[in-house]
Amino acid sequence: MLKNSLERLKNIKISVNQIPIVVTIMIFMLISIAASAIFPGFFSLYNFVNIFKAVAYIGIIAVGMTFVIISGGIDLSVGSVVAFTSIFIAKMVNEFMMPSWIAMLICLAIGITMGFIVGCLITYFE
């Protein structure tokens, strides 16, 4: 059984285009193994939920940027719009004591407006 598995591993051919993804997966696995050895609760459900909560907005932005890049465009203003609206919502909630749901709606409207303006400018100048 072990010989059969080793023979299959020897027959795997990796092209030059696949090297970055293979190296990335290997580094991810190495870091995961090291983290699980150092931190006992690394593979707990609680930790995974916290990680996904922390990076959820980055994933949402990444999906939107993927559509932009696939369609042949590039939009570097997304990061600055996210930074602006993040600071704006924090100011509205903390300093002006605005309810968070109202601040979120205002920031959503600001983000949509800024995205529309940037999209119009890109279309106009191309």
pLDDT of residue 8: 73
Residues 66 and 28 in one domain: no
Residue 77 corresponds to which tokens in the numbers above? 């203003």
Confidence (pLDDT) at 17: 86
Q: How confident is the model at residue 4, as a pLDDT? A: 74
Whether residue 120 sits in one domain with residue 80: yes
pLDDT score recorded for residue 6: 67
Q: Are residues 105 and 82 in the same domain?
A: yes
Shared domain for 82 and 59, answered yes or no, is no
Asked if residue 1 is part of any domain, the answer here is: no
Both 86 and 101 in one domain: the answer is yes
Query: How many independent structural domains does the chain possess?
Result: 3
Dig out the tokens for 3 from the structure. 């010989």
Note whether 125 and 96 are same-domain residues.
yes
- Looking at the fold, whether 79 and 96 belong to one and the same domain comes out as yes
Angle between helices 77-94 and 45-70 (to 10 degrees): 130
Q: What is the mean pLDDT of each run of 10 residues along the chain (126 residues)?
A: 69 81 93 91 90 89 85 81 92 94 95 91 86
d(CA 76, CA 121): 13
Q: What are phi and psi of 101, to 5 degrees?
A: -70, -35
Q: Looking at the structure, tell me whether residues 16 and 27 fall in a common domain.
A: yes
Residue 7 lies in a domain: no
- Which structural domain, as residue segments, surrounds residue 92? 75-126
* Helix, strand and coil in the chain, % to nearest 5: 80, 0, 20
Q: Which amino acid is at 66?
A: T
**To which residue do tokens 């593979």 refer?**
43
Residues 100 and 107 sit within 8 Å (Cβ to Cβ) = no
